[in-house]
Amino acid sequence: MEDSNFIKDLTSFLQEKGLIWGPEPEIYGGLAGFHSYGPLGKLLKNKVENNIRRVFQSNNLWELEAPLIMPEIVWKASGHMNFADSFLQCSKCGSINKIDRGQENKRLKCVSCNTELTGKLKSHNLMMKTEVGGVTAYLRPETATVTYLPFRRYHTFFRKKIPLGVFQIGKAFRNEISPRQSVIRGREFTQAEGQIFIDPKEKNNWSQYEEVKKTKLNLMPKKSQKEEKITLEEAVKKEHIKTKAYAWCLWLAHKQFVSTGIPESSIRLRQHLDEERAFYAEDAWDIEIKTRSFGWIEVCGVHDRTDYDLKQHQQYSKQSMECSREDGSKFIPHILEIAFGTDRPVFVLLDTFYEKKLKEEGKTMFKVPYHMAPIEVSIFPLLKKDKLPEKALEIKEILEKEFVLEYDESGSIGRRYLRSAEQGTPYAITVDHESLKKDDVTLRDRDTEKQIRVKINDLKEVLKKLINKEIELKDLGKYI
C-alpha cells in the first residue's frame, strides 16, 4: 500500500529537479489531474516514448497520428457515450470514492477517512465535451477509437494484407472523478496504444509466437490468481491464454516495460476476472508493476476486442469494414490491443530508481538505467579559466549531434558530479590541463564513480557503447 514518507521524499525530488510539477496551475492553487513535465521530466518522457516507438516499430507496428477531438457520432458508435466511472460518496467526510469494475459488491472503505461506504452507486461520464462549428464533439478519452476510424485507408496502404499493426502515442482526456497519485491518474495524459488487426481464423496461426513462446513471464491467471513464472507455451497449453496471437501480444506488451530496464521481478501480468473485463473483450490481462509509492499499479491492458469496434463503425458509418480471404470468403478483422501510456512508465522509472542516501548527507541519486537517462553526458571544464572552457565547448560541439548533454562550468567539480548523479546522468566528462596537451579527458561513471582517461577522438564511440551497456568502463583499458 501507500508509503507516505517515500511519496513525500519522491515528490520533493520531482519538483526540485524539474521532473514533474503540479497539479497545474500551481500559482492559482492547482486543478487536480493536470501536470507539467519540467525540462528534465520532458527529456525522460521523450526517452520513454522513443523506446516505445523502437519496440513497436521493430515488431512491425506503424505509427500514426489522429485527431484529439471527434464529433458525437464517433463516440456513439464506439460505446463511449456510456463511458462512466462509478462512485460512492462518503457519508461522513463527503469524499468521492471511485469504485472499479468488479469491486461493486465488496465492503469498501473511504480513502480519506476509512468510514465504510454505503448507499447507491452513482455514475459519472468521463468524456470532456466541447463544441466545434455548432456540432457537439468530445475530446478523445483514449487513442484506440480514433486509430480504428481510418481502417479502410490502412487496408489500402498495407496492400490489403491482414494482419496489420499500427500504434499511436498522444494525449487523451478523461474527466476523472478523483484524480490522484501524481501523473498516475491524470485528467489529461499521454497514451501509447498498439492495435493489431487480425483475421479471427489466424489467431492460432501466428508465426511470431514461435519465436517468443519459450519466454518465461510472471503470469497471474484468473483460475489460480497466483503468480506463476511459466513460459507462454505452457500458459497456452494450460489454457490460461486462449490464442497464440494473444500470447504474442502479451510478450510484446511485457517487452515494452522490460526494455526500459524495469526489473522483471517487479512486473507481473494479471488476467482480468470475468466480472472486471470490459463487455467487448474476449480476453484481458493487465501488466502491473510494483512501485515503492503505491504498491502494485496497473500500467497496461492487453485486450482481444474481437470485431466489436469495426462492426460498430460499419453500422454507424454505413461503410464496409470487410476484408477478403484468398478463397473469397469475407471477414471483419478482430483487434488485439496493447493499451498503455507514457506517464506511468515515467513515474515507475522515477519511483524505482530514485535513491536517497541518508548516511552521506544530502546525497541523492537517480539510478535510472543508462539508456533511459534524461541527460546522457555532462561536460565540465575543471576550471573556468586557462582555456579549459574553450576546449570543453569544442567537445560539446562534437558530441551534441549524438547525445543529450549538459555543459556546466560553475561551482566545484565535486558539486557538479553530485548534481549530475542526482539528474541520473550516466557519464561526466572533465576537461583538465592535461586535456590541452594530450587531447584526452576523464570520463566518470555515475554508479561506480570510477574514472578513466579517454582520447577525445574515441569519445563518441566509447560513450555509445557504454550507454548501451555493450561495454563497461573497467573494460576500457585500450582507450587509456
Burial class (CB in 10 A: 0-12, 13-18, 19+), 216: middle
Minimal distance in Å, beta carbon 112 to Zn ion?
Answer: 5
> Are 305 and 281 a contacting pair, CB within 8 Å?
yes
Minimal distance in Å, beta carbon 245 to Zn ion?
Answer: 45
Kindly tell me which residue out of 93, 121, 273, 436 binds Zn ion, with binding defined by CB under 5 A.
93
Binding mask 44-83 for Zn ion (x = CB under 5 A): ----------------------------------------
Minimal distance in Å, beta carbon 111 to Zn ion?
Answer: 8
Give the interface segment with Zn ion, choosing from 92-100, 183-191, 382-390, 435-443 (CB under 5 A).
92-100
10 Å Cβ neighbour count for 366?
Answer: 22
User: In terms of CB distance, is 4 or 207 closer to Zn ion?
Assistant: 4
Q: How far apart are CA 269 and CA 338, in angstroms?
A: 13
Specify the DSSP class assigned to residue 334: E
User: In terms of CB distance, is 109 or 357 closer to Zn ion?
Assistant: 109
Stretch 95-154 residues interacting with Zn ion (CB under 5 A):
95, 110, 112-113, 115
CA 106 to chain centre: 31
Pairing of strands 295-304, 228-231: unpaired
User: In terms of CB distance, is 92 or 387 closer to Zn ion?
Assistant: 92
Q: Does 31 bind Zn ion (CB under 5 A)?
A: no
The sign of the torsion formed by the CA atoms of 119, 120, 126, 131 equals negative
Q: How far apart are CA 54 and CA 192, in angstroms?
A: 13
Burial class (CB in 10 A: 0-12, 13-18, 19+), 330: exposed
Minimal distance in Å, beta carbon 104 to Zn ion?
Answer: 18
Q: How far apart are CA 392 and CA 54, in angstroms?
A: 32
Q: Does 90 bind Zn ion (CB under 5 A)?
A: yes
Q: Does 91 bind Zn ion (CB under 5 A)?
A: no
Minimal distance in Å, beta carbon 342 to Zn ion?
Answer: 33
- Residues in contact with Zn ion, total (CB under 5 A)? 8
User: In terms of CB distance, is 178 or 314 closer to Zn ion?
Assistant: 178
User: In terms of CB distance, is 55 or 110 closer to Zn ion?
Assistant: 110
Query: What are the backbone dihedrals phi and psi of residue 68, each rounded to the nearest 5 degrees, phi first?
Result: -90, -20
Minimal distance in Å, beta carbon 105 to Zn ion?
Answer: 20
End-to-end CA distance of the chain: 49
Q: Does 89 bind Zn ion (CB under 5 A)?
A: no
Q: How far apart are CA 291 and CA 294, in angstroms?
A: 6
Q: Does 11 bind Zn ion (CB under 5 A)?
A: no
User: Which residues contact Zn ion by CB under 5 A?
Assistant: 90, 92-93, 95, 110, 112-113, 115
